[in-house]
Structure 1
């Protein structure tokens, strides 16, 4: 009997703010939470490639292919984020971020790897977030781009806080060569492979 090769399925989604990067559970503590299954009728065996925390939004890849997931999660694939930070960010803070900063991870201190960071000249053209972000009466804000080859839990938020500019909004806009482009919040697109 010849074993038929299974055909894997892949999706690109714009994860909304307030949705967990996982599929539901029967845990009573999580019954009030929103999961990815609300966005689409995904096939069995689907898994998110990496995660975005509940308060983060943007590009999330899903696949039924574990090898694909391992490759995208490896440090060979860049992930770019746009972060709205509290305050008028300084060139010194950007330099610190790009060289790597010390953050807490798993109860230990962790030095982030060098990465690409720059200030955006204008606010990016992103859909409005469902939950309002504080307005200009509370002082200035800045948009920055951070491109990482690693992805520790809440890493970008911890990095911007470490240099004195906490993140107010975080949107992943790129994974490798896949860009958010004109996708809208909650969009789900099936694709035929990521690479």
Structure 2
């Protein structure tokens, strides 16, 4: 009987520590250390309405906007995941060829992989700097902006500079970049 009481106390103590105290401490730390991330990194417009998240890609298809990476889940955050197609699957090749054709590139332009290949989650909100620069001319023409203005907006919205030190490339959040383009047009009016 003595062993039963001891093991019951240990079980209850472990349950309280692991299921209540530890999560409460971690949540409290997160609320102090990363207040924006704890709420999903939501982005609001001037009216205070939620228009997206810095962490989840959205579909942009109009020529006046920068386009995100393709999504294997059609940008549905409730169904994140890759396509699980093998590199030799013809459907993957067809999807990449359709993406390249949609870009309407000149023959000498190289296509960054992130413009034709979905990320593992299908919801990556970033594109590479090369992908943003490749789309700059199209966005500038469609929006009536100078190419230098659009290039400046890209540079202003670069993220991931710390990754550059480690050999990575700078990235751009598509939603925040498109918001910057919209803001620039609103200021011109």
Q: TM-score range by the shorter chain?
A: under 0.3
Q: Which has the higher helix share?
A: 2
The structure in which a higher percent of residues are strand is: 1
TM-score (normalised: structure 1): 0.26
TM-score, reference length from structure 2: 0.27
Q: Structure with the greater relative contact order (CA < 8 A, sep ≥ 6): 1 or 2?
A: 1
